[in-house]
Amino acid sequence: MTRYFIRFAYNGNNYHGWQIQPNATAVQEILNRAVSLLSREKISVVAAGRTDAGVHAKEMYGHIDFQNFIPDENFIFKLNSFLPKDISIYEIRKVRQDAHARFDATSRRYEYWISTRKDPFMQGKAWMFYKDMDLDKMNEAAKLLLGRHDFESFSKTHSDVNNFFCTVEEAEWVVRDHYFVFYIKANRFLRNMVRAIVGTLVDVGLGKMSLEELQMAIDAKDRGKTGTSVPGEALYLCEVNYPDSIYE
């Protein structure tokens, strides 16, 4: 058995998230089917994370174990020809047998796009939200997230995790033309965490929540104290990082 990492991307609009589930189409299901067809082996791709319904990935990694199949120089071209237009494979690379796409990732980076005016070219790709927001206040609030904290207040309830601690390296809002774009990078993310954070920071930008109230909400470790989760269609996984030691 030989393990490989693949680097790929997908538009999440037509999928109910990454992970296979009953009565819904998931990215994993489509990718498993294509790789299995090409390799003639039963393959289950293990990804770096599980994106929610509608969420996109500009960069995602997954690992694949082949029993006998050896990918050639045309593997990516062939695999892409089997996949729908909204999923694309960029790279395949051999890794150590114990390398793991999820557990060996050292950090992940997301971005969230808000359009402050109706934009026909970003329907399904950004959240159309037309209220005035205070960028400076939102960035002051974002600074409270930096470092290692318990993020239970931003986690989906009943999440099956050992702890809620995450180390956030970057959290910043940037204005690009008529877009408010939020960037966040951390060693790990909890279920629904980014969408809950964005909804809460938007409340700060609208004057519905003060910085002091945000800090109290974080300390409360209670999802009910923070803002509403924003739509998934505007969220993008855009970077996953690994140590060089995983590659052969």
Active-site residue set: 52
DSSP state of 73: T
* Closest of 83, 105, 139 to residue 242, by C-alpha: 105
| H-run or E-run covering 221 | none
Cα–Cα distance, 204 to 212 (Å, whole number): 10
Residue for token digits 């033309």? 177
| H-run or E-run covering 82 | helix 75-82
Torsion of CA 30, 13, 160, 197, to 10 degrees: 150
DSSP state of 45: P
